[in-house]
């Protein structure tokens, strides 16, 4: 990109994916995920059901009087992959029944919620309270139960659930610093592993252990990586203030990683000097452009993979996400 270090954070914060248009049927399917969050609140003891709903509305950015939309900040492929698997592929659709789809939606809604909640509990954006711990434990219980039911009759289904949950905790517990952007992306595939369970169980139920199941995992993982990288670019200054190890940090030389790591502990003037040094390097060496290219590569790979299985709607969604980023380097 062109511009100054003062322009860089502003430019990055405005970057976004395209938003695919949804049909009425797709919108109706999407609402079912929100209904699962309402059910989560109802599963809590009566004394905290109302405060649970108020917390989750605030957490999701829903204002009082608005129609609750708990996943408004989630790009459609995050949930629509389940719609596409149940409606769009070149495999016999009768291999899935409505109960399978319902269990997938329930488990996946909890997995999406828990991924976000765990992240915010760890970084302190959400306080550890009896209520948040209750909601987390309830959501985890509901997720496990739904995935257990979905795994019934699926070849190695229970093993699949255990494998991805183990991968999730391996990823979030990993304290080793990634040495490259590739390492960082590989680590995030583990950190989004609970999101993989429903798509993989559905695809396995459809096709058995096959190239189709493997390709669904690859494509969905590429989408997750692209989304994580976009968040990193949008949050450069915020991550630097917290000394968070983002993909931008991974792309820095060692001497500037020191500036990044120390930025949160320095006084105001020192912090400004450190931040300016990092932002100057990012601008002069095209770090943001490098990450944007990786985002587009991941989304293009995801689209090509599912296109090969005649999932044209999902492929279109992946390509739609990338469209606004095609000219992002020009400011």
Percent of the chain with pLDDT over 70: 93
Question: Which residue from 276, 326, 265, 279 is spatially nearest to 299, judged by alpha carbons?
Answer: 326
- pLDDT over 70 at 56, yes or no: yes
Give residue 89's pLDDT band: very low, low, confident or very high (50, 70, 90).
low
Confidence label for 329 from pLDDT (cuts 50, 70 and 90):
very low
- Amino acid 296: pLDDT: 97
pLDDT in tens, 165-188: 999 999 998 778 898 999 999 999
Kindly report which listed range (54-63, 267-276, 320-329) carries the lowest average pLDDT score: 267-276
292-309 mean pLDDT? 96
Ramachandran bin of 74, using left for φ above 0, alpha for ψ from -120 to 50, beta for the remaining angles: beta
Distance in Å from the first CA to the final CA of the chain: 6
- The tokens describing 123, both together, are 């970084």
pLDDT band at residue 331 under the 50/70/90 scheme? very low
Helix (H, G, I), strand (E, B) or coil at 22: coil
The proportion of the chain whose per-residue pLDDT surpasses 90, expressed as a percent, equals 74
Say whether pLDDT at 327 is over 70. Answer: no
The pLDDT of residue 283 is: 92
Given a cut of 90, whether residue 328 has pLDDT beyond it is no
> What's the pLDDT tens digit per position in 142-163?
999 999 999 999 989 999 999 9
Share in percent of the chain as helix, strand, coil (round to 5): 75, 0, 25
pLDDT band of residue 92 (cuts 50, 70, 90) is low
Structural domains for the chain: 7-325 (1.10.600.10)
The pLDDT confidence band at residue 282, using thresholds 50, 70 and 90, is: very high
| Contact assessment for residue 112 and residue 134, using Cβ atoms and an 8 Å cutoff | no
> Average of pLDDT values for 219-223?
98
d(CA 55, CA 100): 30
Measured distance CA(5)–CA(14) in Å, rounded: 15
Q: What is the mean pLDDT of the chain?
A: 91
| DSSP labels, 96-127 | --HHHHHHHHHHHHHHHHHHHHHHHHHHTSS-
Task: State the Cα–Cα distance between residues 69 and 38, nearest whole angstrom.
Answer: 10
Give the single-character DSSP code of 325.
G
Cα separation, 172 vs 194, whole angstroms: 12
Asked whether the predicted pLDDT for residue 269 surpasses 60, the reply is no
Kindly state the average pLDDT of the residues 55-79: 90
Residue 91 has pLDDT above 80, yes or no: no
- State how far the Cα of 92 lies from the Cα of 135, in Å rounded to an integer: 38
CA distances to 3, 286, 289 from 330, in Å: 9, 12, 10
3-state secondary structure 207-256: HCCCHHHHHHHHHHHHHHHHHHHHHHHHCHHHHHHHCCCCHHHHCCCHHH
Calculate mean pLDDT across residues 258-272.
65
| In the block, residue with structure tokens 């270090």 | 5
Averaged pLDDT, 308-319: 94
Sequence-distant (6+) residues with CB within 8 A of 82 are 29, 101, 104, 105, 108, 198, 199, 202
Q: How confident is the model at residue 264 (pLDDT cuts 50, 70, 90)?
A: low
Q: What is the structure's pLDDT at 271?
A: 64
Residue-wise pLDDT for 115-141, tens only, equals 999 999 988 899 999 999 999 999 999
């Amino acid at each position: 990109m062109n511009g100054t270090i003062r322009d860089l954070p502003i430019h990055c914060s405005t970057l976004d994916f395209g938003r695919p248009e949804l049909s009425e049927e797709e919108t109706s399917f999407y609402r079912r995920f929100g209904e699962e969050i309402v059910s989560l609140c109802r599963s809590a003891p009566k004394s905290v059901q109302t405060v649970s709903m108020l917390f989750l509305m605030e957490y999701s950015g829903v204002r009082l009087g608005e129609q609750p939309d708990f996943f408004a900040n989630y790009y459609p492929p995050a949930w629509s992959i389940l719609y596409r698997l149940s409606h769009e592929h070149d495999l016999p659709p009768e291999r899935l029944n409505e109960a399978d789809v319902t269990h997938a939606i329930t488990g996946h809604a909890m997995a999406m919620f828990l991924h976000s909640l765990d992240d915010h509990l760890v970084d302190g954006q959400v306080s550890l309270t009896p209520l948040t711990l209750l909601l987390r434990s309830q959501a985890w219980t509901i997720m496990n139960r739904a995935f257990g039911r979905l795994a019934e009759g699926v070849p190695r289904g229970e093993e699949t659930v255990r494998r991805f949950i183990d991968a999730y905790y391996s990823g979030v517990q990993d304290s080793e610093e990634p040495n490259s952007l590739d390492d960082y992306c590989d680590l995030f595939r583990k950190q989004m592993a609970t999101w993989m369970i429903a798509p993989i169980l559905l695809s396995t139920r459809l096709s058995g252990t096959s190239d189709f199941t493997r390709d669904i995992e690859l494509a969905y993982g590429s989408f997750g990586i692209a989304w994580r990288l976009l968040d990193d670019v949008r949050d450069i200054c915020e991550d630097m203030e917290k000394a968070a190890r983002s993909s931008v940090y991974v792309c820095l030389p060692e001497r500037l990683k020191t500036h990044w790591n120390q930025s949160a502990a320095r006084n105001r003037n020192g912090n400004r000097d450190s931040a300016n040094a990092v932002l100057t390097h990012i601008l002069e060496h095209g770090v943001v452009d490098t990450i944007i290219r990786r985002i587009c590569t991941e989304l293009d790979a995801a689209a090509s993979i599912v296109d090969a299985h005649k999932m044209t709607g999902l492929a279109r969604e992946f390509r739609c996400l990338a469209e606004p980023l095609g000219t992002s380097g020009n400011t």
